[in-house]
């Protein structure tokens, strides 16, 4: 990828997006106590951060606001989850989100996740209690989606949905951002949409991933979504729901990684059907893969016979 994006200098575009968000936050936020002019994972303290089982999320809800008011032009957020085991299986969110998924299919998903030690199972929120029960004591997290699949519900509704899922046993939340705010040029609204859910998640030491639906965005909008997600404190940015008419591409993952840098995760989801797909996306910068074909992917990596593949979401 070159250093130009639709005729606009890439770094200048990221800087301009940052300035717009900072400006809107400064004009709407009440005064707070002074704080340092930069924030990063290295600044984590016992007052604002809790680390457990390799997962570290920020719980200081005022940090970003304080940093902005001190004049920061760029904000770095900490990596939500650094996997100790970098095998492909530990990067996979084993997924079933189809509307007609049965309890039996979800139970089978959990059994496979235990056997292959996937990072998580990703299910619709109605099945969170079932998964939490079946995966109790395992190394597999329970992930669910909120605002799914359109992202068009109010931020407070998504936050409530996340809160309920967390109470039922979810330890990771994938939220769909409001695509209409990007299309409307409403960066302040986009920040509110994302940060409202992120704060709810981080109050419970739960990871929050932000789903873009990249097939519906142009490159400049992907840059905006990536930078605003990072500034709002998201732990991951994610390509797709798998239901929006497109999925993860190497180009999109590389673009998202370039914007967010090494500080937060990038999840590639939608259409990831085989080992070659997964490896290419990881090479492009993905640190998590969302796929229903997880078993087939891991078997192929091990050189075992693969009988079939999932739909990739």
The tally of CA atoms less than 13 A away on the side-chain side of residue 266 is: 30
What is the pLDDT at residue 74?
A: 36
Q: Which of 19-28, 44-53, 255-264 has the lowest mean pLDDT?
A: 44-53
Domain presence at residue 64 = yes
Which residues are 138's β-sheet partners? none
Q: How far apart are CA 165 and CA 141, in angstroms?
A: 13
| Number of domains comprising the chain | 2
Please report which confidence band the pLDDT of residue 72 belongs to, taking 50, 70 and 90 as the band edges: very low
Is 238 one of the annotated active-site residues of the chain?
Answer: yes
Residue 80: inside a domain? no
Q: Which pLDDT belongs to residue 158?
A: 98
174, 193, 235, 252: the active-site residue = 174
- On whether both 140 and 287 belong to a single domain, the answer is yes
Task: Give the start-end residues of each E strand in the chain.
Answer: 4-5, 8-9, 49-52, 55-58, 92-96, 120-123, 141-146, 172-176, 207-211, 236-238, 265-269, 288-291
Choose the catalytic residue: 158, 235, 267, 277. Answer: 267
Q: Which residue has the higher pLDDT, 313 or 15?
A: 15
Residues of the chain with pLDDT > 90: what percent? 68
Domain of residue 230, CATH code: 3.20.20.70
In this predicted model, what pLDDT tens digit does every residue of 215-244 receive, in sequence order?
999 999 999 999 999 999 999 999 999 998
Return the sign of the alpha-carbon dihedral for residues 234, 91, 14, 58.
positive
Write down which residue in 69, 97, 118 finishes a domain: 69
Residues 137 and 284 occupy one common structural domain: yes
Q: Is the pLDDT of residue 84 over 70?
A: no
The answer to the question of residue 77 being in a domain is no
For residue 275, pLDDT over 90 is answered with: yes
Does any domain span residue 311? Answer: no
pLDDT at position 35 = 29
Active-site option among 209, 235, 238, 277: 238
The DSSP-derived string for 169-221 is T-SEEEEE--HHHHHTT-HHHHHHHHHHHHHHHHTTT-EEEEE--GGGS-HHH
* Residue-level pLDDT at 246: 86
Active site residue 267: yes
* Residues 50 and 98 placed together within one structural domain of the fold: no
Say which residues have a Cβ less than 8 Å from residue 6's Cβ, sequence separation at least 6. Answer: 218, 219, 220
- Residues 140, 232, single domain; the answer is yes
Residue 138 pLDDT level (bands cut at 50, 70, 90): very high
The verdict on 197 and 237 lying in the same domain is yes
DSSP structural state of residue 87: S
In whole angstroms, give the CA distance from residue 143 to residue 306.
Answer: 26
Q: How many CA atoms lie within 13 A of 194 on its CB side?
A: 31
What's the rounded Cα separation, in Å, for the pair 80 and 260? 13
CB 312 within 8 A of CB 305: no
pLDDT tens digits, one per residue of 166-198 = 999 999 999 999 999 999 999 999 999 999 999
pLDDT range class, residue 63, cuts 50, 70, 90: very low
pTM reported for the whole predicted model: 0.79
- Same-domain check for residues 123 and 14: no
The predicted model gives 62-82 an average pLDDT of 40
Q: Between 268 and 28, where is the model more confident?
A: 268
Q: What is the pLDDT of residue 148?
A: 97
| Rounded mean pLDDT, 50-79 | 39
Tokens of 90: 């530990």
Give CA–CA dist 17/224, Å, rounded.
6
What domain range is 149 assigned to? 88-302
pLDDT score recorded for residue 14: 82
Average pLDDT of the chain, as a whole number = 82
**What tokens does 56 get?**
């570290």
- Give me the pLDDT at residue 79, please: 37
- How much is the pLDDT for 8? 66
d(CA 36, CA 42): 13
Q: Choose among 131, 126, 122: nearest CA to 91.
A: 122
293-303 average pLDDT score: 95
Q: Is 60 exceeded by the pLDDT of residue 66?
A: no
The residue ranking higher by pLDDT, 313 or 119, is 119
Residue 132 lies in a domain: yes
The answer on 180 and 236 residing in a single domain is yes
């Amino acid at each position: 990828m070159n250093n130009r994006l639709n005729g606009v200098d890439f770094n200048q575009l990221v800087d301009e997006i940052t300035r717009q968000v900072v400006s809107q936050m400064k004009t709407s936020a009440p005064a707070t106590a002074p704080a340092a002019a930069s924030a990063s994972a290295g600044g984590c303290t016992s007052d604002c951060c809790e680390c457990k089982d390799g997962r570290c999320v920020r719980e200081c809800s005022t940090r970003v606001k304080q940093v902005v008011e001190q004049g920061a032009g760029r904000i770095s957020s900490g990596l939500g989850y650094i996997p100790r085991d970098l095998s492909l299986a530990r990067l996979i969110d084993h997924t079933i989100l189809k509307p007609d998924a049965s309890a039996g299919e979800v139970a089978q998903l959990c059994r496979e996740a235990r056997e292959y030690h996937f990072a998580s199972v990703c299910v619709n929120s109605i099945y969170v209690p079932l998964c939490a029960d079946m995966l109790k004591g395992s190394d597999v997290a329970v992930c669910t989606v909120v605002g799914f699949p359109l992202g068009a519900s109010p931020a407070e509704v998504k936050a409530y949905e996340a809160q309920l899922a967390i109470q039922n046993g979810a330890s990771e939340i994938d939220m769909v951002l409001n695509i209409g705010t990007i299309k409307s040029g409403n960066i302040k609204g986009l920040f509110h949409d994302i940060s409202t859910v992120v704060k709810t998640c981080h109050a419970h030491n739960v990871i929050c991933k932000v789903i873009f639906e990249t097939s519906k965005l142009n490159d400049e909008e992907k840059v905006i979504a990536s930078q605003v997600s990072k500034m709002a404190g998201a732990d991951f940015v994610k390509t797709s729901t798998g239901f929006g008419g497109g999925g993860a591409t190497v180009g999109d993952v590389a673009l998202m990684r370039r914007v967010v840098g090494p500080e937060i995760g990038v999840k590639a989801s939608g259409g990831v059907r085989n080992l070659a797909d997964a490896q290419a996306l990881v090479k492009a910068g993905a640190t998590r893969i969302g796929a229903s074909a997880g078993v087939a992917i891991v078997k192929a990596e091990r050189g075992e016979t693969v009988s079939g593949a999932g739909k990739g979401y």
